[in-house]
Structure 1
Amino acid sequence: MARILKFDDRTWHNWHFTERDVPIAGRYELHRAVTASLADMRASAKAVQDLIGKAFTERRRLRAHGATWSFSAAPSVPGGWPLATGYANQLFALPKTHVDPAFSGDHDGLVLCQTGISVAELNMWLEPRGRSLATTGASNGQTFVGAMSCCTHGSAIDHGAIQSQVRAIQLIPSPDRNLWIEPASRPVTDGRLAAELGATVLRDDRLFAAALVSLGALGVVHAVLIESVPRFLLENHRKRLPAGPALLRAMSSLADVDFAAANLPGAAGRRPYFFQSVINDQIDKGFAYVTCGYRCDWDDGHNLDYSIQPKRSPGYNLATVVANLLDSAPGLTPVITKAVLADQLSPINGRVGSWGQSFNFTTPRAGTAGASVAAPVDRVHDVRAIFQAALTKVGKAPVAFACRYARKSPGHLAFIRWPQSVITDIDGLDSSATRLVMAQAVTDLRSAGIPHAEHWGKLNQATASSVRDAYGDDLERWLAARTDLLDREGEYVFGSDWLDRLGLSNRNF
């Protein structure tokens, strides 16, 4: 039977320890039954409603979280109750009989995912059944719902972020409401699934767009209905190339003619499905490490061996040790950074795998940090120049910059906001110099007037003002949807210090 367990912990930390020693009033875990069933899903939703009722009564902030992979304070709830969802991970294929006859999508690909399912688990469930996700983040230890809620940006150049695959959302915003939300403009189910989950169908485009990237502020997302695609293979290549005009032009346009001129690794006249370019003048001036993945038809003889690694492997805290060492001896930074980059970006020559094998479960390490901004693709080199200049201003820092790409993504608060967007990452060891580079880069982007938005789940410099500048009318739509959905108790309970600071919730209710 589904149940919620209580623990008397008084401090909390995220997976990477970028948020640590957060004072809490206890924590909870949502667990599924051993045997998967929709009846247990219904009982699970009722258990969540009961906990929300307790939070309302005791005026305690409640925050559901997945694997706590966010570097930012997005899952943090100081003084409140974290609700860990990772043990609630049931999956069901939606029967075709339950699909709305007007739904124009792939009826074979609809899958109900409970809140705690990880991306890696979802891959391993879908692919043996002949299906696949179209995109994910490049590391699949996150829960799907957690990655959706913070708009993890995906890894496919012609697709939106991870939430672009979501077709319906089960949202619990109060002790007495259990909602099944679909867009009114594209209904998906005929109502029977919602009834089995004990949920009320609500077809509303604005609320659906708000709930796609909710940041935990609208209630507890208990399940999502995703639309998968027929499985495929990805042929992966990586090569160190001169960062010449042809490659730089391809990075700023993504046009097929520019890709052809750039002589990308493994191209053979093909458009990449995944494209990443890592250019770091401080490490390897004049060269780029270019990774391309090309979509291929499925081979029935392909072996689905995922070789999943344990969540905390030996050496988990090694990065913390190195970061502390570099804070004390910054002169070692270039040598260590170059060695790490060479190891992480070693050549790949035609390695073939499924999507789940190509972007498999990776072990995050304490002591690492990441930041990302999205911008229009034609501004990629302006962004890169500002990032390099920020590093020069700060001095030696154990960071590297990478560019990945995705399409404009659904959701009022999706940070990928341009028809074709570049996502520029700052990744490195979590040292004081790394944090300074991240802050300086965003400060200089703002000063230069380059349109951009910051990744919610990574370390960011967001303020109430910068969020308003980045999201404009979409922010107003999101705030209006939240106000309409929640009563005054809900507005308080599903807030947090982080959301208060960004103007997305209010402590004074």
Structure 2
Amino acid sequence: MPIVKLGAEADWTNYHGTGVCEGAVRYALRSGDAARGRDELAAASAAVREWLADAQREGKRVRPLGAGWSPSNINICSQAWLLHTRRFNRCFRIGPGDVRPGVDAAGLMLVQSGALVDEVSDKLEEQGRSLWTSGAGNGQTFAGAAATGTHGSMVTRGGIQDHIRAVQVVTPSGVHWVEPAAGLMSDAFIAATGSAALRDDDLFAAVQLPVGALGIVTALVVDSVPKFLVRPIQNLRKVDCAALGWLAVGDFRRFSAAYALDREPDFVQMIVNPFKPLKRPAMLRFLYREEWRQDYPHATPGQMGAGYDALSLLGKLLDDYPWARGALLQFAMKQGYAAGPDVDDPPVYGTWGEGLDTHRPLADLFNASVTIDRSELARVFELICAVYTKYGGSTAVTIRFMERAQGLLAPARFAHNAVIDFDGPRSQRTADAYRRVVDLLDREGVAFTRHWAKSCHLDAARIAGDYGDDLTRWRAARDRLLPDPAHRALFGSPVLDGLGLTV
């Protein structure tokens, strides 16, 4: 059986220990051993549809769970049926005969919804292919990362959901294969998965980032690029106001020449201490893309500068000794973030996947973010630091850059985006500091969005204001997939209902 019950009613805690589904009944969707992916999907999607019917008869809401990675409460629903997809994680090649005429199948892979970003990356690299972007970690399921708008970090790319070319989603009314109007997979392939084809641009843009509210996603078609190498440079440097101006206008080459290599970077990250940020060194990280070659020396994620554990080690000190937080934050950055190679060190290379790592659980950490129009960076940076200087707080501020992401509810919705993360000890003091930041941005008229999977304090009015016509289009797509209000409620939760996504 593709779906098995995992035990009696009990509490379930997410990976980072930040949310609990009380009184939940857990089920697992598991892969079979079919030779063809389409046959696996046909069996699994039929089982999921039957499971949804059972839940509806029992009056239970349902939540799909991948790795349980989101630190926010976006996937929390008590007294619900939880469907774990983590063991539904096989990946399959797609051949030329599986796609419509004129479609190049070379970069495509069929991915079951429980496959981790790490597993997808590894499978692609075995085929000489690569993801082109992802979040900072790789422990999420690919479907879950896309469903919550996990931002990318390559300066000319969007979010991880931009890799998705088709989605299989199961609702009580049917098994749907959703792809753009131009089409992707052949009719025969879609029929073999047990799905009905829905070729529509708005429907596809909705299911690229469904926030868990549009049904049970069982599979994705993921696109890729030829495998490449990246060279990391990581150092501590003081950054001045002029440099912030270069970043705001997208002059990444000039910023790179001043602080690392005189060439176009593919990734730029700046971690700053908001207490005297221009007087204390910032942690800078650059990635430079290079052509693939077989004979490069393999580096570990740590050697490539990955890792975000310093703040978890110092979290209690940061919160217990607020008078010393500026110095302690700087110490954390120096000890935990400056492990990567600098300009004068022997070059280190790795694939995109080799530069990712799996975070340890972040139960003691606070995670939040805002995404702004990149042109507002200097102004917003000044506002943020003013809040911390006046009121305190114990978070480092991380800034990364990306282009507009696909998906109607993608937080990275500006043409050019600066994503600003706030990471620090989980405490009321830290949460209050973030709240003051977003309140000030609102008062100053700064347009921004927030990450669905992090602490975000969103409500229905805020989402309506942030997403406007795109939210209207998303809801219209939802109502086409789930025309029965009872079916929409099946995938709801107190959180999603309050955000206006399931009512």
Provide the TM-score with structure 1 as the length reference.
0.91
Aligned-partner SS, 1:32: coil
Residue number in structure 2 paired with 1:277: 270
Equivalences for 1:441-456 in 2 at 5 Å? 441-456=437-452
Shift of 1:284: 5.5
Equivalences for 1:140-289 in 2 at 5 Å? 140-174=138-172, 176-184=173-181, 186-255=182-251, 259-260=253-254, 263-268=257-262, 270-282=263-275, 285-286=278-279, 287-289=281-283
Residue number in structure 1 paired with 2:16: 16
**Distance in 2 (alpha carbons) for counterparts of 1:140 and 1:221:** 19
**Distance in 1 (alpha carbons) for counterparts of 2:230 and 2:29:** 35
1:306/1:190 CA distance change after superposition, 3 Å = farther
1:249/1:493 CA distance change after superposition, 3 Å = same
Residue number in structure 2 paired with 1:311: none
Give a deviation string over 1:56-78, Cα, whole Å, max 9, x none: 11121101021122121111112
Aligned-partner SS, 1:351: coil
Shift of 1:343: 2.4
Matched, 1:33 2:32: yes
Matched, 1:416 2:412: yes
Matched, 1:300 2:301: no
Matched, 1:482 2:481: no
Shift of 1:115: 0.4
**Distance in 2 (alpha carbons) for counterparts of 1:288 and 1:354:** 26
Amino acid at match of 1:147: A
Residue number in structure 2 paired with 1:312: none
**Distance in 1 (alpha carbons) for counterparts of 2:49 and 2:243:** 53
**Distance in 1 (alpha carbons) for counterparts of 2:194 and 2:76:** 29
Amino acid at match of 1:342: K
Shift of 1:340: 2.1
Residue number in structure 2 paired with 1:379: 376
Whether contact under 8 Å (1:321, 1:367) holds in the other structure is no
Give a deviation string over 1:72-101, Cα, whole Å, max 9, x none: 111111221222211110100111111111
**Distance in 1 (alpha carbons) for counterparts of 2:348 and 2:301:** 15
Q: Which moved more, 1:283-292 or 1:131-140?
A: 283-292
Aligned length: 490
Give a deviation string over 1:253-308, Cα, whole Å, max 9, x none: 1135xx2265244423x211111112224175433222110110001123667689
Give a deviation string over 1:450-483, Cα, whole Å, max 9, x none: 0111111111021111111100011111111111
**Distance in 2 (alpha carbons) for counterparts of 1:480 and 1:18:** 32
1:345/1:467 CA distance change after superposition, 3 Å = same
Whether contact under 8 Å (1:442, 1:461) holds in the other structure is no
Give a deviation string over 1:102-153, Cα, whole Å, max 9, x none: 33xx421100110010011111111122000011101111111000000100
Shift of 1:390: 2.4
Q: CA RMSD in A?
A: 2.3
**Distance in 1 (alpha carbons) for counterparts of 2:121 and 2:407:** 23
Aligned-partner SS, 1:168: strand
The percent of aligned pairs where both chains have the same amino acid is 32
Whether contact under 8 Å (2:318, 2:425) holds in the other structure is no
**Distance in 2 (alpha carbons) for counterparts of 1:409 and 1:207:** 16
**Distance in 2 (alpha carbons) for counterparts of 1:456 and 1:232:** 30
Amino acid at match of 1:481: A
Residue number in structure 1 paired with 2:131: 133
Aligned-partner SS, 2:348: strand
Residue number in structure 1 paired with 2:332: 340
Shift of 1:34: 5.2
Shift of 1:321: 8.5
**Distance in 1 (alpha carbons) for counterparts of 2:487 and 2:369:** 31
**Distance in 1 (alpha carbons) for counterparts of 2:184 and 2:417:** 28
Whether contact under 8 Å (1:116, 1:145) holds in the other structure is yes
Matched, 1:504 2:476: no
Aligned-partner SS, 1:411: coil
Provide the TM-score with structure 2 as the length reference.
0.92
Q: Which moved more, 1:210-219 or 1:237-246?
A: 237-246
1:304/1:53 CA distance change after superposition, 3 Å = farther
Whether contact under 8 Å (2:299, 2:348) holds in the other structure is no
| Structure 2 unpaired stretches of 5+ | 303-308
Aligned-partner SS, 2:197: strand
1:393/1:470 CA distance change after superposition, 3 Å = same
Give a deviation string over 1:224-256, Cα, whole Å, max 9, x none: 101111000001001222212442122211135
